[in-house]
Amino acid sequence: MPQEHHYYVYLLTNQNNKVMYIGVTNNLERRVYEHKMKLVPGFTEKYNVNKLVYFEETSDVRAAIAREKEIKKWRREKKNNLVIAANPEWRDLSEGWGEISPCGRDDKGES
């Protein structure tokens, strides 16, 4: 039986919701952890973008990549409306995920 795959299109923002990042991954928890721990050099590290405010899941990697590209082309107002429809308070949907890293260790590196 073939293994089912999961892909996620996700939106991150900073604490005051001014900066937005759109990405795609096959492991949302691990990827958000990497952003929060600043393990991903570049835009999200530089602008402290690590609050997960929206995500979509699909089993089709091509659909996930196409959706990411589609959302990236949108004006900011349309991106905001997407978040507001699913998460009107702009709360961090990954809150509590950081207690145990995706590697099975806590944030101090202990098992």
**pLDDT averages per 10-residue partition of the chain, 111 residues:** 88 96 96 92 94 97 98 98 97 80 46 36
Which pLDDT belongs to residue 96? 82
- What pTM was estimated for this model as a whole? 0.85
| Model pLDDT, residue 1 | 66
Q: What is the DSSP string of 33-99?
A: HHHHTT-STTHHHHTT--EEEEEEEES-HHHHHHHHHHHHHS-HHHHHHHHHHH-TT---TTTTGGG
User: So what's the pLDDT on residue 32?
Assistant: 94
Is the CB of residue 21 less than 8 Å from the CB of residue 13? Answer: yes
Q: Do 57 and 8 contact (CB within 8 A), yes or no? A: yes
Residue 98 pLDDT: 59
Domains plus CATH for the chain? Answer: 7-95 (3.40.1440.10)
Contact 35, 12 (CB under 8 A): yes
